[in-house]
Structure 1
Amino acid sequence: MSETRSPREVFQELLNGISERRFSELAELYAEDAVVETVFQPVGPRRFEGRSVLAERFAEVAARSPIELASKNVVIRETDDPEVIVAEWDYEVHHRGTGRTVEASNIQVLRVRDGLIVHSRDFHDHLALAVAGDNLPDLVAALAAE
């Protein structure tokens, strides 16, 4: 019988997969009915439901994203619920198109059951990502249109 991965181990796999751009593997870390909420996403959907939807989203990111992410300052906090961790970290974000490098802070609250992510609330610094890509005018226009 194999041992189930802990929430800490699953988060570390997720973080490593993102930093190493192994996007095609990431959906396998999620349960079939997983829910991911990107709470501070400035425009577009903020809730994604199901492994297949997440696989599509990761495929989009793999195909379109001009950024490279290197994680640092990772802190993982256990909670009184053994399924839940709170992770804090920074990404060094390098945008290949603009050549800019910025730092983006992140917090993720993960619920992991039977070695798979069942729920995630993600708090990412989307403004830093917009700065890296020189996309602030586009972001402002999109926000004004809502």
Structure 2
Amino acid sequence: MTEATDQTTSRLELVERLRTAMETKDKHAFVDQFADDGVYELPFALDGAPSRWEGIDTIRALLTADSPMSKLLDIQRVSVQAQPGVTPDVVTVEFTVEGKNASTGEAFSFLSSIGVIRVRDGKIVYYRDYPSSLRGAQVAGMLKPYAESLAARS
């Protein structure tokens, strides 16, 4: 294998580990894919809200914290489409989640996020995440409270 082929395989294996961690609800396995000096970024964060976390400990605290959405949405299947980037260390991913609303039993399927990931030595050094927060709130039956919480910030 060439070095470029090795890097592509490494990126795609990492993406599969992320997908599996999401599907099995293993937050720690998801975070374990980050390098010690990794960066996680949410570029569409509201003014005044954090948008960048640096270092594995900070990322772990963020991504393993209890989330109300995880109690409202029973994710049963995660699929991913990965597109290698122009450079061998970058991959763009689209995660689609399927499952049921935990309180109503209503089935859902939606594109939960798009991410641009930079990989070094098989670990994430930079993850720029674009989650579909509105769609998640909608399928969880929480769109109105979510909108009200946003309105309270203005």
5 Å matches for 1:1-146?
6-40=10-44, 44-61=49-66, 65-66=70-71, 67-69=73-75, 70-72=77-79, 74-105=80-111, 106-146=113-153
* Aligned mates of 1:15, 1:38 — CA distance in 2: 19
Q: Work out which structure has the larger RCO, using CA pairs closer than 8 Å and 6 or more positions apart in sequence.
A: 1
How much is the aligned-residue C-alpha RMSD, in angstroms?
2.5
Point out the structure with max Rg over C-alpha: 2
Q: Which moved more, 1:33-42 or 1:81-90?
A: 33-42
Q: Give TM-score, length-normalised by structure 1.
A: 0.82
Unaligned runs of 5+ residues in structure 1 are: none
Deviation at 1:57, TM superposition (A): 2.3
Give the Cα separation in 2 of the matches to 1:50 and 1:12.
22
- Asked whether the equivalents of residues 42 and 126 of structure 1 are also in contact (C-alpha less than 8 Å), the reply is no
Q: Provide the rounded CA distance (Å) in 1 between the counterparts of 2:23 and 2:59.
A: 17
The gaps in structure 2 that reach 5 residues or longer are 1-5
Which amino acid is 2:100 matched to?
Answer: H
- Alpha-carbon contact 2:22-2:78 (below 8 Å) kept: no
Point out the more displaced range, 88-97 or 18-27. Answer: 88-97
Identity of aligned residues (%): 26
The answer to whether the Cα contact below 8 Å between 1:21 and 1:62 also exists between their aligned partners in 2 is no
CA deviation after TM superposition for structure 1 residue 24, in Å: 2.2
**CA apart distance, 1:48:** 2.1
Distance 1:46 1:102, change over 3 A: farther
Give the length in aligned residue pairs. Answer: 143
Q: 1:96 to 1:65 in 2, by over 3 A?
A: same
Q: TM-score of the superposition, structure 2-length normalised?
A: 0.79
Greater mean deviation of Cα atoms: 3-12 or 29-38: 3-12
